[in-house]
Amino acid sequence: MTAIRCIPVIMGAVLLCSCNKLLVDEAASDQNLADFDMAWNIINTRYVYLDWKGIDWDSVRTVYRPRAEQAQGDEFYTVLHDLLRELKDGHVYYQTEGGGQVLPYYPTPRMLRDRNAYSPYVVRKYFDRELRITEGGGFEYELLPEVNIGYVWISSFDSEDFNIHFAEVLEYFRDTDGLIIDDRNGSGGSLQSTLYSVGRFLTAPIDAVLAYDATNQALDWPQYVPVGPFQYTKPVVIIINGGSYSARENFADKMKSLPNVTVIGDTTGGGSAGQNSTGPYAGKHVLPSGKMINIPTFDLRRLDGLPWETIGVPPDIRVPQTEANIRAGTDKQLEYAIELLQ
């Protein structure tokens, strides 16, 4: 009886083994190594922060290439995920054909620290009316009660009509005595939006080399210049925290150079890599199997000459805030900003 019961178990194991071979697309499996080699080489020649982060990319290849050789079918996604995670870069991701973006490294430690140390619902408690919202929800703004001070939270620097809506907000606050720009906990965006938003406060161009490629060659970079029908020159306070990332950090850094601007809060998340959508500095690459990886190709710089990758942009005045403050219904950073402008 024992022998008879064992027969189906053995047969089942054989069938499972056979099915496993049938389920793995051999052609796709053969492409795993080609995918790995292409991804490793792209990073080796185009990723801008290997030296900055002290990553021994040759050693990484030694560890991961055998895993790529042994991976069957979709097992390779685990290898690719872990390989890209070694870069510890929130701008790096991969994507399947028709699938969504997968970020192997997100968020950074400071983003984790501050993700619940800000709440738009707590912010609303400081107003005596509903906040105005631009079409598409890119900006929430209003005058603070009993003072002639404007407040605006920018949800994203990447909306299609960013310049139009930013101009709408500044026109509303044109005659205010001061302005608070809340740069916390939203998404990043494009260089074009940053150029425009900073340009609305400039009275003279910013002259600095702001981008380099993987060979440390300075790029021909657009200059920050005054734009728009008028420049806002009244006192401005910008609030940042660990949730400020990418274009949000770029905005805060360039605004810090202006004499009427004070940046408060806490150090930003630390993501300064950039890329073009097309051309020699394009970030997206299709691997032999059809998988896509995104590898940043620009080393963007703060005005002090350093990348803000990993180190972030520090505030002029540190005002720490915790999740406990928010649970208690208090926004210490916003309160400090209001007090600074009164």
Confidence at residue 152, expressed as pLDDT on a 0 to 100 scale: 98
Confidence at residue 187, expressed as pLDDT on a 0 to 100 scale: 85
Q: Which residues contact 182 (CB under 8 A, 6 or more apart)?
A: 123, 151, 152, 153, 154, 239, 334
pLDDT over 60 at 16, yes or no: no
Task: Kindly report the pTM of this predicted structure.
Answer: 0.88
Instruction: Place 56 in a pLDDT band, splitting at 50, 70 and 90.
Output: very high
Give the mean model confidence (pLDDT) for residues 259-281: 93
Q: Report the mean per-residue pLDDT for the chain.
A: 90
Give the mean model confidence (pLDDT) for residues 250-276: 96
Q: What Å distances lie between residue 225 and 82, 178, 272, 337, CA to CA?
A: 41, 22, 21, 26
Confidence at residue 28, expressed as pLDDT on a 0 to 100 scale: 54
Between residues 212 and 278, which one has the greater pLDDT?
212
pLDDT over 60 at 37, yes or no: yes
Q: What Å distances lie between residue 23 and 8, 74, 97, CA to CA?
A: 22, 10, 19
Give the mean model confidence (pLDDT) for residues 160-186: 96
Instruction: Place 14 in a pLDDT band, splitting at 50, 70 and 90.
Output: very low
> Which domains are delineated in the chain?
110-272+299-341 (3.90.226.10)
CA distance 283 to 297: 6
CA distance 39 to 292: 9
Give the mean model confidence (pLDDT) for residues 229-251: 97
pLDDT over 50 at 17, yes or no: no
Between residues 9 and 33, which one has the greater pLDDT?
33
DSSP code at position 206: B
pLDDT digits (tens, 9 = 90+) for 204-228: 999 887 899 999 999 988 999 999 9
pLDDT over 90 at 29, yes or no: no
CA distance 178 to 147: 9
Please choose, from the candidates 282, 281, 221, the residue with its C-alpha nearest in 3D space to the C-alpha of residue 254: 221
Q: What Å distances lie between residue 324 and 52, 117, 184, 244, 327, CA to CA?
A: 35, 8, 17, 20, 5
Instruction: Place 5 in a pLDDT band, splitting at 50, 70 and 90.
Output: very low
Whether the CB-CB separation of 66 and 269 falls below 8 Å is answered with no
pLDDT over 70 at 119, yes or no: yes
Q: Which residues contact 308 (CB under 8 A, 6 or more apart)?
A: 249, 250, 253, 268, 270, 271, 272, 300, 301, 302
pLDDT digits (tens, 9 = 90+) for 312-336: 999 999 999 999 999 999 999 999 9
CA distance 57 to 234: 48
CA distance 84 to 78: 10
